[in-house]
Amino acid sequence: MSAGSGSGHSHFVEEGSVYKTQQLAYLGFETGWRTGELETALRILREEESFWKDREDQDAKDALQRTYGKQALILQDWGRLEEALALHKKEEALCLELANKASLGYCYWNWGLLAREQKDRDTEREKLQSALQIFTELNMPRERDAVQDELEKTSKPTRSTQAKPKKPKTKQKTPHSE
Protein backbone atom coordinates (compact mmCIF):
# COMPACT_ATOMS: atom_id res chain seq x y z
CA MET A 1 0.00 0.00 0.00
CA SER A 2 1.43 3.37 -0.91
CA ALA A 3 1.68 6.21 1.57
CA GLY A 4 -1.47 8.23 1.91
CA SER A 5 -3.70 5.72 0.14
CA GLY A 6 -6.11 5.27 3.05
CA SER A 7 -6.81 2.48 5.49
CA GLY A 8 -5.61 -1.07 5.08
CA HIS A 9 -9.22 -2.19 4.89
CA SER A 10 -10.05 -0.14 1.80
CA HIS A 11 -6.85 -1.23 0.05
CA PHE A 12 -7.69 -4.90 0.46
CA VAL A 13 -11.28 -4.44 -0.68
CA GLU A 14 -10.06 -2.60 -3.76
CA GLU A 15 -7.94 -5.67 -4.46
CA GLY A 16 -11.11 -7.77 -3.97
CA SER A 17 -10.00 -9.77 -0.93
CA VAL A 18 -12.40 -9.89 1.99
CA TYR A 19 -10.23 -12.63 3.49
CA LYS A 20 -7.18 -10.35 3.64
CA THR A 21 -9.26 -7.66 5.36
CA GLN A 22 -10.42 -10.13 7.97
CA GLN A 23 -6.87 -11.42 8.50
CA LEU A 24 -5.49 -7.91 8.92
CA ALA A 25 -8.08 -7.12 11.60
CA TYR A 26 -7.61 -10.49 13.30
CA LEU A 27 -3.83 -10.22 13.48
CA GLY A 28 -4.02 -6.63 14.73
CA PHE A 29 -6.48 -7.58 17.46
CA GLU A 30 -4.57 -10.70 18.51
CA THR A 31 -1.29 -8.81 18.74
CA GLY A 32 -2.88 -6.08 20.83
CA TRP A 33 -4.69 -8.60 23.06
CA ARG A 34 -1.63 -10.77 23.67
CA THR A 35 0.68 -7.85 24.40
CA GLY A 36 -1.81 -6.08 26.66
CA GLU A 37 -2.28 -3.21 24.22
CA LEU A 38 -6.05 -3.30 24.65
CA GLU A 39 -6.57 0.30 23.52
CA THR A 40 -4.91 -0.57 20.22
CA ALA A 41 -6.87 -3.81 19.91
CA LEU A 42 -10.15 -1.98 20.56
CA ARG A 43 -9.28 0.72 18.03
CA ILE A 44 -8.64 -1.97 15.39
CA LEU A 45 -11.93 -3.70 16.22
CA ARG A 46 -13.88 -0.45 16.04
CA GLU A 47 -12.36 0.33 12.66
CA GLU A 48 -13.29 -3.13 11.47
CA GLU A 49 -16.83 -2.61 12.80
CA SER A 50 -17.18 0.67 10.93
CA PHE A 51 -15.94 -1.03 7.76
CA TRP A 52 -18.57 -3.79 7.90
CA LYS A 53 -21.59 -2.15 9.57
CA ASP A 54 -23.18 -0.67 6.44
CA ARG A 55 -23.07 -3.94 4.52
CA GLU A 56 -25.82 -6.55 4.67
CA ASP A 57 -24.06 -9.58 3.19
CA GLN A 58 -23.21 -12.71 5.15
CA ASP A 59 -19.46 -11.96 5.26
CA ALA A 60 -20.17 -8.58 6.83
CA LYS A 61 -22.53 -10.00 9.44
CA ASP A 62 -20.06 -12.74 10.32
CA ALA A 63 -17.25 -10.23 10.69
CA LEU A 64 -19.47 -8.00 12.83
CA GLN A 65 -20.43 -10.77 15.23
CA ARG A 66 -16.75 -11.59 15.79
CA THR A 67 -15.92 -7.93 16.22
CA TYR A 68 -18.69 -7.43 18.79
CA GLY A 69 -17.56 -10.46 20.78
CA LYS A 70 -13.94 -9.33 20.92
CA GLN A 71 -14.87 -5.77 21.82
CA ALA A 72 -16.98 -7.18 24.64
CA LEU A 73 -13.95 -9.07 26.01
CA ILE A 74 -11.91 -5.88 26.17
CA LEU A 75 -14.70 -3.87 27.77
CA GLN A 76 -15.24 -6.66 30.30
CA ASP A 77 -11.54 -6.61 31.12
CA TRP A 78 -11.86 -2.87 31.78
CA GLY A 79 -14.89 -3.39 34.04
CA ARG A 80 -17.33 -1.84 31.57
CA LEU A 81 -19.74 -4.73 32.03
CA GLU A 82 -22.98 -3.18 30.76
CA GLU A 83 -21.31 -2.13 27.51
CA ALA A 84 -19.86 -5.64 27.16
CA LEU A 85 -23.31 -7.15 27.73
CA ALA A 86 -24.84 -4.96 25.01
CA LEU A 87 -22.20 -6.17 22.56
CA HIS A 88 -22.78 -9.83 23.45
CA LYS A 89 -26.48 -9.31 22.72
CA LYS A 90 -25.62 -7.93 19.25
CA GLU A 91 -23.21 -10.82 18.73
CA GLU A 92 -25.89 -13.34 19.71
CA ALA A 93 -28.46 -11.85 17.33
CA LEU A 94 -26.07 -12.11 14.38
CA CYS A 95 -24.99 -15.64 15.28
CA LEU A 96 -28.63 -16.73 15.42
CA GLU A 97 -29.42 -14.99 12.14
CA LEU A 98 -26.46 -16.67 10.44
CA ALA A 99 -27.10 -20.03 12.15
CA ASN A 100 -23.44 -19.92 13.22
CA LYS A 101 -23.54 -22.39 16.09
CA ALA A 102 -19.82 -22.49 16.89
CA SER A 103 -19.63 -18.71 17.26
CA LEU A 104 -22.87 -18.76 19.23
CA GLY A 105 -21.23 -21.24 21.60
CA TYR A 106 -18.30 -18.88 22.16
CA CYS A 107 -20.72 -15.98 22.62
CA TYR A 108 -22.61 -17.85 25.35
CA TRP A 109 -19.39 -18.99 27.01
CA ASN A 110 -18.07 -15.43 27.22
CA TRP A 111 -21.50 -14.10 28.21
CA GLY A 112 -21.67 -16.66 31.03
CA LEU A 113 -18.31 -15.46 32.37
CA LEU A 114 -19.51 -11.87 32.11
CA ALA A 115 -22.67 -12.77 34.05
CA ARG A 116 -20.44 -14.32 36.73
CA GLU A 117 -18.66 -10.97 37.12
CA GLN A 118 -22.04 -9.26 37.33
CA LYS A 119 -23.07 -11.73 40.08
CA ASP A 120 -25.99 -12.88 37.90
CA ARG A 121 -25.86 -16.60 38.70
CA ASP A 122 -29.00 -17.52 36.76
CA THR A 123 -27.74 -16.00 33.51
CA GLU A 124 -24.26 -17.41 34.16
CA ARG A 125 -25.65 -20.95 34.39
CA GLU A 126 -28.07 -20.47 31.49
CA LYS A 127 -25.42 -19.19 29.07
CA LEU A 128 -22.79 -21.72 30.11
CA GLN A 129 -25.35 -24.55 29.77
CA SER A 130 -26.21 -23.29 26.28
CA ALA A 131 -22.53 -23.16 25.33
CA LEU A 132 -22.00 -26.67 26.69
CA GLN A 133 -24.93 -27.99 24.66
CA ILE A 134 -23.65 -26.37 21.46
CA PHE A 135 -20.07 -27.55 21.90
CA THR A 136 -21.28 -31.08 22.70
CA GLU A 137 -23.53 -31.12 19.63
CA LEU A 138 -20.71 -29.83 17.39
CA ASN A 139 -18.21 -32.33 18.82
CA MET A 140 -15.85 -29.62 20.11
CA PRO A 141 -14.35 -31.48 23.10
CA ARG A 142 -11.79 -28.87 24.20
CA GLU A 143 -14.43 -26.16 24.38
CA ARG A 144 -17.01 -28.56 25.88
CA ASP A 145 -14.64 -29.58 28.68
CA ALA A 146 -13.59 -25.99 29.43
CA VAL A 147 -17.22 -24.88 29.68
CA GLN A 148 -18.03 -27.90 31.86
CA ASP A 149 -15.23 -26.79 34.20
CA GLU A 150 -16.77 -23.30 34.34
CA LEU A 151 -20.21 -24.75 35.04
CA GLU A 152 -18.82 -26.72 37.97
CA LYS A 153 -17.62 -23.43 39.46
CA THR A 154 -21.21 -22.09 39.45
CA SER A 155 -22.30 -24.62 42.06
CA LYS A 156 -19.41 -23.85 44.41
CA PRO A 157 -19.75 -21.14 47.05
CA THR A 158 -18.54 -17.76 45.86
CA ARG A 159 -16.29 -15.40 47.76
CA SER A 160 -19.28 -13.23 48.56
CA THR A 161 -20.99 -16.14 50.36
CA GLN A 162 -17.91 -17.21 52.28
CA ALA A 163 -16.67 -15.62 55.50
CA LYS A 164 -13.02 -15.71 54.38
CA PRO A 165 -11.11 -12.52 53.57
CA LYS A 166 -10.88 -11.60 49.90
CA LYS A 167 -7.72 -12.38 47.99
CA PRO A 168 -6.36 -10.00 45.35
CA LYS A 169 -8.13 -10.46 42.03
CA THR A 170 -6.06 -12.11 39.33
CA LYS A 171 -6.85 -11.68 35.67
CA GLN A 172 -8.94 -14.59 34.40
CA LYS A 173 -8.13 -15.90 30.95
CA THR A 174 -11.14 -15.38 28.74
CA PRO A 175 -11.97 -17.54 25.73
CA HIS A 176 -11.98 -15.92 22.32
CA SER A 177 -14.34 -16.56 19.55
CA GLU A 178 -13.17 -18.32 16.43
Domains defined for the chain, CATH in brackets = 8-99 (1.25.40), 101-155 (no CATH)
Q: What is the pLDDT of residue 28?
A: 86
pLDDT at 120: 96
The yes-or-no verdict on residue 8 having pLDDT over 80 is no
* % residues pLDDT > 90 (the chain): 67
Mean pLDDT of 124-139: 98
Predicted local distance difference test score (pLDDT) of residue 154: 87
At residue 18, the pLDDT reads: 72
Residue 77 pLDDT exceeds 90: yes
- Res. 98: pLDDT tops 90: yes
Mean pLDDT, residues 119-142: 97
Position 177 scores a pLDDT of: 59
Q: What is the pTM of this model?
A: 0.78
The pLDDT, as a whole number, for residue 1 is 38
Q: Which amino acid, residue 52?
A: W
pLDDT of 5 above 60: no
Span 141-176, pLDDT tens digits: 999 999 999 999 986 655 544 444 444 344 445 566
pLDDT of residue 43: 93
- 125, 144 Cβ separation under 8 angstroms: no
